[in-house]
Structure 1
Amino acid sequence: MSLRRQTTRIVPPLLRERTFRRYWTGQTISLFGDQVSILALPLTAVLVLHAGAAQTGYLTAAGLAPSLLFSIVAGGWVDRKGHRRRVMLTADLVRAVLLASLPITYLAGVLTFAQLYAVAFLVGCASVLFNVAQGTVFASLVRPTDYVAANSLIHGSRALSFVGGQSAGGVLVQLVTAPGAILIDACSFLASALFLRSIHPREPLTAAGGRGHLLEGVRFIAHSREVRALLLATATINVFNFMEAAIFVLYAIRSLGLTPAQLGLVLGIGAVGAVIGAALTSRVARRLGVGGAFTLSCVVFPASFILIPVAGGMGKPAILALLFAAAFGGGVGVVMLDITIGAILTAAVPAVLRARVSGAYSTINYGLRPVGALAGGAMGSALGLRPTLWIATIAGVAGVVWLIPSPIPRLRTLPELRDEPVPPGRDVVAGAQVDGTKSGPTSS
């Protein structure tokens, strides 16, 4: 067999198409950079500015608050104005500049909490615009029957970034300081922008404005049993997950006595679970149905983090083993959750509503994250880090309760899609329309 034929068999069909491959490559680079910042940003607060529990909670909340404040408005604006790819590209460039400012002011000796909070908040604003536009661009590149496969590729990259990005982040913090490591994420946003600039998906028509325009996404969610259940489940998990996330780095460094390199290494190795989750999701979805796989992930993901407070008071080998197990199980769960919910939501929402539904969904789902972060910081200061972690990790499993009376656990395939008009002259990539209106059914 020729080398070219062997390569063709190994490479997934979607990655053989240039447009999707460029999109996927840009997102993969950006995801790796994000993992560096996820560790380096709170470590900058803890190691450089000597933050306490409340301050790390404020930092996490600052980055998440834009989802609560601006998602609905951003979704309406993007659907009305169009040019989703251009919005994503601009958001990448803005985030690169903002993050690059941190190592510059650190080297000048003028880095402050105020700047750290401001950068986290403004990067969060840019991320809101990027995220509400992304669903339409994604759907313009992938046909509905490939939603699970395409999400598996993107979240497979995310899973690999958990392994390489967090390990690299811990080592980079040791070598070039936490602010220096953040520069890697700034460069990754530039790379993402370059790849986005090289693709030109044909997008759906812009939505009409007018009275009630911004609330159409809210109304869609309110009338969809499936989407409403998904939102309640993920919002509950998010509140308690970010209550834990707000104080986790502080707990690991100060209470468990880990170095940044040890923390990054154990999280990176444990994140192999995310790679396995990405590889297994399609099989689990075929066995249990896409809704059953999502329901399972809503248990596996939050339940894994119960091992974090269990590690308190143990010896270093046991601590590392338990944190590895928590990262491994959480990685399997979160990637399975993201792949399945991404496919369900993309299938369920009409193209012309997609950004508004994404904005409304994010307002609650992501908007509750800063509430959890602030609660984690406040409770960590008042009750102590470990008791707060016990509360947050156990309560997170309660999210699955919202799914039990809904159709989600029994959902075997993607929701029935609505037929949408196909404009003439449409380009096709790998059998997929290269714009946001699809030839098949849609819902969200």
Structure 2
Amino acid sequence: MGKARADDHDHPPDAAKPLPPPRIPRQRAAAESANGATYRKVLAVGEFRAVWLGHAVSTISSNLLLLSVAMLVYQRTGMPAAAGFTVALTLLPPIFAGPLLSIIADLCPRRRVMVISDLVRAALIAAIGLPGMPIWGIWLLVALATLPGVPHNAARAALLAEILPGNRYVTGSSLAHMTSQVSVMFGLLLGGVVVSAIGPGPAMLYNGLGFVAAAFIVLVGVRSRRAPRPSGPRHQGLWAITAEGAVLVFSDPRLRTLALLSWLAGFYVIPSGLAAPLADEMDAGASGMSLLMAAVPAGALIGSIVWTRLVPPAPRARLLAVLAAFASLPLVGIAFDLPLELVALLLLVSGVFGAYQFVANATFVLCAPASGRGRTFGVASAGLQSSQGLGILAGSVLAGSIGAHSTIAVAGAGGAICALALIPTWRKVAPSTIEPLQESEQRT
């Protein structure tokens, strides 16, 4: 706003105003968006490289934490249930605190939010490894250490939308998700090596140093920006701002439908939670379980390339609900007595179509108002985590009665039916989701 007023003083009233940039025809803009948003071009943006690399280091550290703290608790207690509860603590707190904490990304400069969040996580995680820390203290620190990730992820998503306009944001977001999949596997592998070499307690210190490194990368590689201008009345309370995030999501047909499509992950995530009993029913052993667990992220890597690089933005947007249906539909085939390789193939196909989540996530952020991206992302993220947690919990209970094969097939049918029910609504709002992408692309 200040710059606009300064321009008014610089030009005499009768001076010719600069002409607005020519508008690019919609079809031409879509074609340029599809052809120009390559991985090479988004990686050429220095700020994106910093956010991308920092996110990779942070993801590796998160998975090193997951393995180290579970091993630490198991060694101290000898109870598998205690180790399982420790892992659950990395998921449960953000479900309840996510919408409230995510508004920080809309109230403070987003680079600052990311840096401080990583530094707070580093301190809390390092404290877990202190000698003599009681189990209840470890659990408390684990729960607290997961909370800064909520504003961090919301700020990262909103900041990327400022760094990469239009379809370049979709491509950059897809690259970040692909890197996350690789970082998860690398973090678990690195965690196994580090814990075996020095023990889970000392590993916590190195884990904390990883978050310090991620904070430093963002601090050095991303320029400072002002906090977003609030869209609502000033001096609102935190709960009012949090409620406004939910209102923004559910009052906008585009955001509401995109959120519902994203939350369908609660159906097709169930095979990941039932990988052990599924492998046991097939007498596949630990190697078979590993194959089943690796099939979905491998498919997601393939799908992220297909849907963001090979399919133009407009057709991709129109097909989003159909892709969501096919993410669940292959799971129905697991009801049959199939060999391990075919079951893994079905999970791979599910992962390919499940990569629509990358596009839905990026589209959601672009359609959200710039000043409310943090809080709307927090609402959608909390709903996604809730659907996944409840889906795995419900699947585990049902599998005890009808078996893992039948449970996964039921989940696949349920997810496909829900996605098909959303297709008519999505067809109405899909064209309007392409406009923010094109407008953002034209401004550059």
Letter in 2 for 1:68: I
1:396 equivalent in structure 2: 415
Counterpart-to-counterpart distance in 2, 1:232 and 1:288: 20
1:328 aligns with 2:348: yes
Counterpart-to-counterpart distance in 1, 2:404 and 2:138: 23
1:214 pairs with 242, 245, 267, which one?
242
Letter in 1 for 2:97: F
Counterpart-to-counterpart distance in 1, 2:276 and 2:65: 13
1:273 equivalent in structure 2: 299
Measured against aligned partners, the alpha-carbon deviations of 1:187-232 in whole angstroms (never above 9, x if no partner) come to 5433321211112242453423326433222222222212111222
Letter in 1 for 2:265: I
Where in structure 2 are the equivalents of 1:27-46 lying within 5 Å? 27-35=55-63
1:141 aligns with 2:167: no
Question: CA 1:284–1:418 in structure 2 vs 1: closer, same or farther (change >3 Å)?
Answer: closer
TM superposition shift of 1:366: 2.5
Question: How many matched pairs?
Answer: 401
1:86 aligns with 2:112: yes
Counterpart-to-counterpart distance in 2, 1:144 and 1:116: 43
1:200 partner SS: coil
For structure 1, which runs of at least 5 residues remain unmatched after alignment? Answer: 1-9, 421-430, 433-437
Letter in 1 for 2:251: H
Letter in 2 for 1:210: Q
Letter in 1 for 2:103: G
2:144 partner SS: helix
2:95 equivalent in structure 1: 68
Over the aligned positions, Cα root-mean-square deviation in angstroms equals 4.4
1:411 partner SS: helix
Question: CA 1:439–1:288 in structure 2 vs 1: closer, same or farther (change >3 Å)?
Answer: closer
- Work out whether residues 298 and 333 of structure 1, in 8 Å CA contact, stay in contact via their aligned partners in 2: yes
1:299 equivalent in structure 2: 325
Please, what TM-score do these two structures have when normalized by structure 2?
A: 0.72
TM superposition shift of 1:348: 0.5
- Work out whether residues 285 and 293 of structure 1, in 8 Å CA contact, stay in contact via their aligned partners in 2: no
Question: CA 1:419–1:155 in structure 2 vs 1: closer, same or farther (change >3 Å)?
Answer: closer
1:356 equivalent in structure 2: 375
1:12 partner SS: helix
1:367 equivalent in structure 2: 386
2:435 partner SS: coil
Letter in 2 for 1:405: P
Please, what TM-score do these two structures have when normalized by structure 1?
A: 0.72
Question: CA 1:23–1:110 in structure 2 vs 1: closer, same or farther (change >3 Å)?
Answer: closer
TM superposition shift of 1:43: 7.2
Measured against aligned partners, the alpha-carbon deviations of 1:335-360 in whole angstroms (never above 9, x if no partner) come to x3232112211220121111121222
Question: CA 1:140–1:392 in structure 2 vs 1: closer, same or farther (change >3 Å)?
Answer: same
Letter in 1 for 2:361: G
Deviates more, 1:357-366 or 1:192-201: 357-366
- Work out whether residues 163 and 269 of structure 1, in 8 Å CA contact, stay in contact via their aligned partners in 2: no
Measured against aligned partners, the alpha-carbon deviations of 1:135-156 in whole angstroms (never above 9, x if no partner) come to 2211221122422221232123
1:347 pairs with 351, 366, 369, which one?
366
1:200 aligns with 2:228: no
- Work out whether residues 64 and 191 of structure 2, in 8 Å CA contact, stay in contact via their aligned partners in 1: yes
Question: CA 1:269–1:234 in structure 2 vs 1: closer, same or farther (change >3 Å)?
Answer: closer
Question: CA 1:35–1:361 in structure 2 vs 1: closer, same or farther (change >3 Å)?
Answer: same
Measured against aligned partners, the alpha-carbon deviations of 1:80-121 in whole angstroms (never above 9, x if no partner) come to 3x122222222223333444555x37xx69774x46654553
Question: CA 1:165–1:412 in structure 2 vs 1: closer, same or farther (change >3 Å)?
Answer: farther
TM superposition shift of 1:65: 2.6
1:15 pairs with 43, 61, 68, which one?
43
Question: CA 1:152–1:326 in structure 2 vs 1: closer, same or farther (change >3 Å)?
Answer: same
Counterpart-to-counterpart distance in 2, 1:407 and 1:126: 33
Measured against aligned partners, the alpha-carbon deviations of 1:350-391 in whole angstroms (never above 9, x if no partner) come to 211111212222333333443334434544566665655454
1:234 aligns with 2:239: no
